[in-house]
Amino acid sequence: MSPALDILRPGPRTSLQDLGRVGLRAMGIPVAGAMDRIGLRLANALVGNPPGEGCLELTLSGPLVQVEADSVRIAVAGPARLTLTQADGARRMLAPDRSWRLVRGDRLEIGPINGSLVAYLAVEGGFAIAPVLGSLSTHLGAGLGPLGGRALETGMLPLRRNDAGPGPERILTRPLPYGDGPIRLVPGPQADAFTEDSLATLLSSPYTVGARSDRMGMRLEGPTLHHRAGADIASDGIVAGSIQVPGDGGPILLLADHQTTGGYAKIATAISADLPRLGRAVPGDRLVFRAVTIAEAEAARRAQEQAVQDCLDSLASIEESGRIDLAALYRAELISGVVTGDEEPVAPPEAETI
């Protein structure tokens, strides 16, 4: 039998995603892709995949899968609850944000994702699924992408590898740079279509992520915004982060599955550095906003990209015993020894078993 993960329970709206279907918006084809691109990149780095390899995007809770391969290296990036049931019936909890080697017959149950909308499951070598228009991204609303453009269902999900590669497991050793504080906005491109106090209202009032939010857009519940002369404009291009305001005055912050053009005025645009954090937001989360310039937005994205790369470059190895490889941490300059009066470095005590 070909190597696969047997999907025993798919989880709510689990889908295949990568970094998006780029270069086709001029033909009306949305980008789609991961809601949290930082999380997808981490999952892939933990198992040694290229950054944009397709992963399973898990929403609120994940699937129950059984390994139908001699062995497989997996990683779940995000605060999910992981329970491993081995072929002999033994059960134990696994930590997210690190890789694990599973063997044939092992069952992995991914439970609730705490504090985030999404998490990502990567497998070493990736899934043996043909891309659609150059991408493994799934646009659920349009039915576009792998697996017929639908969410994951029960059955076999084929793998490219039948065996996990040699080498140690890997673990995240520093926080990912999602940022905190207000979501940063660049006003426009149609800020002048709104009354003078509307932008000030958006920037001074808290909004709540609404229950009707989805991969296409986040409904922001809070003070109503007002147009000068109606909500409609000649349809123009849309990017992720655009805040459209339809006639009812309720802002919608557009996310990964956003349409390519739209005919409602856009009061502001969330900067790209804050999109991964927005992609993780769950209904009921409270958001506040502040305005920045285009130059500040570009600087924030460059700084975040450098910080993400630093995190991925600093992943530590874990020895077969389950202990962190301290030598690897020293080489990465993530921890240091204790300096005595003779200036001789003294290594800290051995790390706790993970």
60 and 160 share one domain: yes
- The angle at the Cα of 295, spanning 244 to 302, to the nearest 5 degrees, equals 95
129 and 229 share one domain: no
Strands 107-113 and 64-68: antiparallel
φ, ψ at 179 (rounded to 5°): 85, 175
| CA–CA distance, 280 with 261 (Å, rounded to integer) | 24
Residue 173 lies in a domain: no
Signed CA dihedral, 138, 140, 144, 146: sign only: positive
- CB neighbour burial string for 15-26, b if at least 16 within 10 angstroms, e if fewer: bbbbbbbeeebe
86 and 235 share one domain: no
Residue 17 lies in a domain: yes
CA-CA distances (angstroms) from residue 157 to 133, 228, 264?
20, 52, 40
Residue 271 lies in a domain: yes
Domain boundary, last residue among 168, 201, 230: 168
223 and 78 share one domain: no
List the domain range (segments joined by +) for residue 267: 183-306
Q: Which of 119, 251, 125 is nearest to 193 (CA)?
A: 251
Residue 348's pLDDT is: 38
One digit per residue, pLDDT tens: the chain, 354 residues? 799 999 999 999 999 999 999 999 989 999 999 999 999 999 999 999 999 999 999 999 999 999 999 999 999 999 999 999 998 999 999 999 999 999 999 999 999 999 999 999 999 999 999 999 999 999 999 999 999 999 999 999 999 999 999 989 999 999 999 999 999 999 999 999 999 899 999 999 999 999 999 999 999 999 999 999 999 999 999 999 999 999 999 999 999 999 999 999 999 999 999 999 999 999 999 999 999 999 999 999 999 999 999 999 999 998 765 555 555 455 545 554 444 444 444 343 333 333
CA-CA distances (angstroms) from residue 247 to 186, 211, 213, 324, 342?
22, 20, 18, 56, 73
Residue 32's pLDDT is: 96
For residue 182, cis peptide bond before it (omega within 30 degrees of 0): no
206 and 288 share one domain: yes
**What tokens were used for 108?**
């992995």
φ, ψ at 47 (rounded to 5°): -105, 5
Residue 35 lies in a domain: yes
CATH number at residue 263: 2.40.100.10
For the chain, how many structural domains are there in total?
3
148 and 74 share one domain: yes
Residue 197 lies in a domain: yes
| CA–CA distance, 331 with 151 (Å, rounded to integer) | 42
Residue 336's pLDDT is: 46
22 and 149 share one domain: yes
289's CB contacts (< 8 A; 6+ apart) are 182, 183, 184, 185, 202, 203, 207, 268
Residue 230 lies in a domain: yes
Domain boundary, last residue among 144, 168, 192: 168
18 and 155 share one domain: yes
29 and 130 share one domain: yes
10 and 119 share one domain: yes
Residue 319's pLDDT is: 74
Helix axes 37-47, 294-313, angle to 10 degrees: 20
Residue 339's pLDDT is: 42
Residue 97 lies in a domain: yes
